[in-house]
Amino acid sequence: MRIQLMTDGGADLPARLTETLDIIIVPLYLHFKDQQYISGVTLSLQEFYQKVKVSDELPRSSAPSPNDFYEAYKKVDPATPIINLSLTKGLSSTYENAVAAKEMLLEEEPARQIAVINTKTATCGLALFLYEANDKIRQGYTFDQLTAHLTQCSEKVITLVALKTLDNVIKGGRLDKVRGAIAKTLNIKVLMRNSEEGALEVAEKVRGDKKTIRRLIEQIGEYTKDFEEKTIVMSHSNAESRAKGILEDIMNRYKFKDSYLMDMGPLISTYAGEGGIVLSFYK
């Protein structure tokens, strides 16, 4: 059975995955002062990194509109079911807009099959969902079976974040300047994870980058087991060699079935800052 997979600009996908999948991506918008860009369309990732470096303000992001999703759904053959794997509701209005668009189209074409799933993750976590969806489609899952399975996955997904610098969270107002200055002086780093609702929350504070990465790797074993049956994905904020080294250490320790490494897109990079690392896997 053919099922059209869809996601949004909150997803970061490696070429090794996109080359084998038929995915529709609805991009998000980025605002640098008075200029608006469409992520991945009118602004490349490298251009984004360069703009952040020279800007004294962080860019603002905005979700695709209901109409953006409506137009994307409309382009799919009405006989083809759609599963839209959405950026977590805990970080954006993207999910609500995707659902609103679904309801708009179903009023016009009630026979359509469209599911919008709040994945409760972001960046590489959405790649993990697309990998899972593609695998189950190959196994012959129906639309209803796949929708139910991916909804269950949203309850099992773990997303871990390690920040190398606090500059962007201070600049973005998520950490006040005084506390941020103290943390930087003490070389304190932040480990974060996705909450049950899919928001990002501080999990631990660690002194020093090496200790932070060591603790990040330790956490994997605290959240999951049966590694040989699972895939782990990682995204990095403009730090490929650093990320490759960390992923190699993870694979040597835990023996996951497979792994994917990818660039982190603008949405999470804006807050993670250069050198930020995100991991995602299932419990």
pLDDT digits (tens, 9 = 90+) for 167-178: 665 555 544 443
Is the whole model's pTM more than 0.75, yes or no?
yes
Domains of the chain, each with CATH number or no CATH: 4-27+65-155 (3.40.50.10440), 157-282 (3.30.1180.10)
Q: How far apart are the first and last CA of the chain?
A: 28
Tens of pLDDT, residue by residue over 35-56, are 899 988 898 888 888 888 888 7
What's the gap between Cα 94 and its chain centre?
A: 12
Q: How far apart (Å, rounded) are the C-alpha atoms in residues 236 and 272?
A: 9
Tell me the Ramachandran region of residue 173: left when phi exceeds 0, alpha when psi lies from -120 to 50, beta otherwise.
left
Q: How far apart (Å, rounded) are the C-alpha atoms in residues 45 and 167?
A: 19
Instruction: Say which residues have a Cβ less than 8 Å from residue 84's Cβ, sequence separation at least 6.
Output: 6, 7, 8, 69, 98, 102, 114, 115, 116, 117
Please give the torsion angle defined by the CA atoms of residues 69, 75, 78 and 80, in that order, rounded to the nearest 10 degrees.
-90
Tens of pLDDT, residue by residue over 233-280, are 999 999 999 999 999 999 999 999 999 999 999 888 887 888 999 999
